[in-house]
Amino acid sequence: MKKYKIHILSIIGAFALLTSCGNNNGQNSSNGALNASAAEKMYVAPGEQDEFYAFMSGGYSGNLTVYGLPSGRMFKEIPVFSQFPTSGYGYSEETKPMLNTSHGFVPWDDSHHPDISQTNGELDGRWIFINGNNTPRIARISLSTFETEEIIEVPNSAGNHSSSFITENTEYVVAGTRFSVPIPQRDMPISDYKGNFKGSLSFISVDPEHGHMDIKFQLMLPGFNYDLSHPGRGKSHGWFFFTTYNTEEAHTLQEVNASQNDKDFIAAVNWKKIEEYVNNGGGTKMPANYAHNVYDESTHTATTTMKKEVVTVDPLKVPGAVYFLPTPKSPHGCDVDPSGEYIIGNGKLSADLTVHSFDNMIAAIEAEKFDGEAYGIPILKFEDVLAGTVKSGGLGPLHTEFDGKGNAYTTFFISSEVVKWKLGSWEVLDRKPSYYSVGHLMIPGGNSRKPFGKYVVALNKITKDRYLPVGPEMEHSAQLYDISGEKMELIYDFPTHGEPHYAAGIPAEILAPKAKKIYRLDENKHPYAINNPSEARVTRDGNEVHIYMSTIRSHFTPDNIEGIKVGDKVYFHITNHEQDFDVPHGFAMIGQNTSELLIMPGQTKTSVWEPKQVGVWPFYCTDFCSALHQEMQGYVRVSPASSNIELSWSLGD
């Protein structure tokens, strides 16, 4: 094996020599992706597998995409907040409830910040959470089935952006509002915003066994914008930190009016203290209306429960629960280093980074060194909590991640670069351009006590000339840097789907061994599942017809159905009797006002069809399943509404 590597290296070396003589269009060698050694670093040979999974949020696609690192190959798009015809998610009868909200069925959202569950501050790979930004929701996705299992709506929230971040034992997934709103919602003049609107920070408990989410409490803070957040860890475990902007409480032309104050705040929330307060009966039960959608893996079916109450907490009633840390220039990202000591405020309109010290903060609180208050919440003195400032020379810092070796990496949106700097000395160690206008960045485990500091992915907002042009709209670019050495090296550049805001990465060895391959037929508890083809049947109840159907390579049982009438509502309940990895069957019916279904081995899914025309109408399998896939089809005879033809069904006779 080693011998091979030497051969490959020498070949690549020779290639590098050759190409370095040629014209490389004026791009210098710091564009590491052009180097043959960079090619070797990201190359994953056919049949080999990647070292890391990367989960990229889909932004306005509403979904979550799964990539491999370092190859940049995309493996899957997991539907979360959006209908997804590829699998039938949000179209099948079983998954429609996943998209229910207090506003009715909302088939889309804007997904932003995935975060993987943790135990003792380290990634445990059970679930990944992600926020829906527009109609505030938090989703939980299983990391064994890679399917969305639960979505909870967040009431009293708007622009659910400082979400969804996980405490270090997954006690809570936290969701903060970006936009403040009247709470409860009511008819009032917009111009009365100041002092009347509120910002809610929701702490959603996660059941340690099943992962089920429940809003434990909502903290009602002043009407600022709560932009991003991160949990404390290690010694700061029990605290949560939120950046704010628009402390001006402007309600119009925020572009100007929310940028007046020289400093905004990082809100430090002692959630352990509030949890104790709520456990002792504190807080106010407030009427609310929000959807809780849970998908049951054994019935393959989601159900919606409308919840009618939420516990709210007034911060002034829990002394010592919330403090404001002044932070310059409308801070965006709020990041906590692996030790839990440093809280980084990325002042997006600044050139510098502000780093607060947790120890300093505690000392200042204990000494009661306050610099006034905002709506009764104590403000600490900037100088008292400051640990240091990173003078980067870049412009527009947004987000910071950590490599676990004492270094931090910060993206600069305006100057399009990633800057590496040292925690403690605040010196800048390296900087590399990104292409272009980088937003978040991701180091696998970068939001935990134990980062895997081998690669950083920069998630860029603007693509322009990086790829072949495909009209005005381009997929966003991501750049992969090797950070194992002293200097960062750009080794690859690949397109991503939708708009990945944040991402989360995890070593493949944690997830791959427990990835589910099939659903076991003997564990299928779907009420319309059939266990074997002899149970296949068609039943009628008024104009509602239920077809109990099964599939296996390569036929449907039954495949000839008669006695359906115009005006019927026909439910195809299809159970895939395959028990082999990666053998789904599809189902599509001509003229159906919904999407196809893709049914995994051992799974049952239901599709509705309301035939409007008399005739004999075919259905077929949409997934090329075998050499006889083209034969996998059937017919439904549709008779006039007045017809007396009895229901009948058959296969092969």
Partner 1 sequence: MRTIGKFAFLFTVGILISCGGKEEKKEERIQIGQKPKVESIKVEEPTSDEVPASKRITLDNKGVGEIKNLELPATIDNAMVERGAALFKTNCTACHKIGKRFIGPSPSGIMERRSPEWIMNMILDPQLMVAEDRCAKDLLVEFNGAAMANQNMTKEQARDILEYFRTLK
Q: Which residues contact 275 (CB under 8 A, 6 or more apart)?
A: 203, 216, 217
> Which of 405, 520 has the CB closer to partner 1?
520
> Which of 74, 583 has the CB closer to partner 1?
583
| Interface pick for partner 1 out of 289, 357, 560, 626 (rule CB under 8 A) | 626
> Which of 400, 557 has the CB closer to partner 1?
557
Q: Which residues contact 230 (CB under 8 A, 6 or more apart)?
A: 165, 240, 241, 334, 335, 336, 343, 447
| Interface pick for partner 1 out of 532, 543, 648, 650 (rule CB under 8 A) | 532
> Which of 368, 582 has the CB closer to partner 1?
582
> Which of 444, 586 has the CB closer to partner 1?
586
Is 80 in contact with 139 (CB distance < 8 Å)?
yes
Nearest distance from residue 106's CB to partner 1, in Å?
Answer: 38
Q: Which two tokens stand for residue 305?
A: 């429960």
Select the span of 73-81, 215-223, 298-306, 530-538 touching partner 1 (CB under 8 A).
530-538
| Interface pick for partner 1 out of 209, 366, 473, 522 (rule CB under 8 A) | 522
Burial class (CB in 10 A: 0-12, 13-18, 19+), 179: middle
| Interface pick for partner 1 out of 541, 627, 642, 646 (rule CB under 8 A) | 627
The bridge status of strand 569-576 relative to strand 544-552 is parallel
Nearest distance from residue 582's CB to partner 1, in Å?
Answer: 11
Nearest distance from residue 531's CB to partner 1, in Å?
Answer: 5
Three-class DSSP category at 531: coil
> Which of 11, 470 has the CB closer to partner 1?
11
Is 386 in contact with 364 (CB distance < 8 Å)?
no
Nearest distance from residue 650's CB to partner 1, in Å?
Answer: 11
> Which of 196, 554 has the CB closer to partner 1?
554
Nearest distance from residue 559's CB to partner 1, in Å?
Answer: 12
Nearest distance from residue 631's CB to partner 1, in Å?
Answer: 9
> Which of 31, 554 has the CB closer to partner 1?
554
**Interaction mask 154-193, partner 1, x per CB under 8 A:** ----------------------------------------
- DSSP character string of 57-96: E-BTT-SEEEEEETT--EEEEE-SSS-BTTTTBTTSTTTG
Nearest distance from residue 615's CB to partner 1, in Å?
Answer: 21
Nearest distance from residue 626's CB to partner 1, in Å?
Answer: 6
Longest dimension (CA), the chain: 87
Nearest distance from residue 552's CB to partner 1, in Å?
Answer: 4
- Judged by CB under 8 A, the number of residues near partner 1 is 24
Select the span of 297-305, 352-360, 526-534, 604-612 touching partner 1 (CB under 8 A).
526-534
Residue 203 Cα distances to 174, 245, 255, 438, 460, angstroms: 5, 21, 29, 30, 30
> Which of 171, 578 has the CB closer to partner 1?
578
Nearest distance from residue 6's CB to partner 1, in Å?
Answer: 17
Angle at 554 between CA 548 and CA 558, to 5 degrees: 30
> Which of 30, 630 has the CB closer to partner 1?
630
Phi and psi (nearest 5°) for 317?
Answer: -85, -5
Residue 388 Cα distances to 103, 348, 396, 424, angstroms: 46, 17, 18, 8
Best CA proximity match to 340, nearest among 445, 229, 266, 239: 239
CA separation for the pair 112, 92 (Å, rounded): 25
Q: Which two tokens stand for residue 645?
A: 């033809």
Nearest distance from residue 556's CB to partner 1, in Å?
Answer: 10
H/E stretch holding 153 reads: strand 148-153
> Which of 339, 626 has the CB closer to partner 1?
626
Q: What is the CA radius of gyration of the chain?
A: 27
Nearest distance from residue 599's CB to partner 1, in Å?
Answer: 14
Contacting partner 1 within 542-601 (CB under 8 A)? 550, 552-555, 557, 577-581, 583
User: Is residue 603 part of the contact set for partner 1 (CB under 8 A)?
Assistant: no
List the end-to-end C-alpha distance of the chain, in Å, as a whole number.
58
Q: How many CA atoms are closer than 13 Å to the CA of 261, on its beta-carbon side?
A: 19
User: Is residue 650 part of the contact set for partner 1 (CB under 8 A)?
Assistant: no
Nearest distance from residue 646's CB to partner 1, in Å?
Answer: 22
| Interface pick for partner 1 out of 143, 151, 215, 521 (rule CB under 8 A) | 521
> Which of 192, 580 has the CB closer to partner 1?
580
| Interface pick for partner 1 out of 49, 305, 484, 531 (rule CB under 8 A) | 531
Q: Which residues contact 467 (CB under 8 A, 6 or more apart)?
A: 474, 475, 477, 495
Is 451 in contact with 507 (CB distance < 8 Å)?
no
> Which of 381, 553 has the CB closer to partner 1?
553
The bridge status of strand 604-609 relative to strand 648-650 is unpaired
Phi and psi (nearest 5°) for 361?
Answer: -60, -50
> Which of 210, 537 has the CB closer to partner 1?
537
> Which of 449, 577 has the CB closer to partner 1?
577
Is 400 in contact with 346 (CB distance < 8 Å)?
yes
> Which of 73, 517 has the CB closer to partner 1?
517
Contacting partner 1 within 247-286 (CB under 8 A)? none
Nearest distance from residue 176's CB to partner 1, in Å?
Answer: 45
Contacting partner 1 within 414-453 (CB under 8 A)? none
**Interaction mask 480-519, partner 1, x per CB under 8 A:** --------------------------------------x-
Lookup result for tokens 């911060």: 315
CA separation for the pair 329, 265 (Å, rounded): 9
Exposure string for 192-217, b = 16+ CB within 10 A, e = fewer:
ebeeebbbbbbbbbbeeeebebebbb
| Interface pick for partner 1 out of 533, 566, 614, 623 (rule CB under 8 A) | 533
Angle at 58 between CA 295 and CA 417, to 5 degrees: 145
Nearest distance from residue 468's CB to partner 1, in Å?
Answer: 33
Nearest distance from residue 514's CB to partner 1, in Å?
Answer: 17
Q: How many CA atoms are closer than 13 Å to the CA of 435, on its beta-carbon side?
A: 19
Task: Give the single-character DSSP code of 477.
Answer: E
| Interface pick for partner 1 out of 512, 616, 628, 641 (rule CB under 8 A) | 628
Lookup result for tokens 């791959």: 512
Select the span of 234-242, 324-332, 483-491, 623-631 touching partner 1 (CB under 8 A).
623-631
Binding site for partner 1 (CB under 8 A): 518, 521-522, 531-534, 550, 552-555, 557, 577-581, 583, 626-628, 652-653
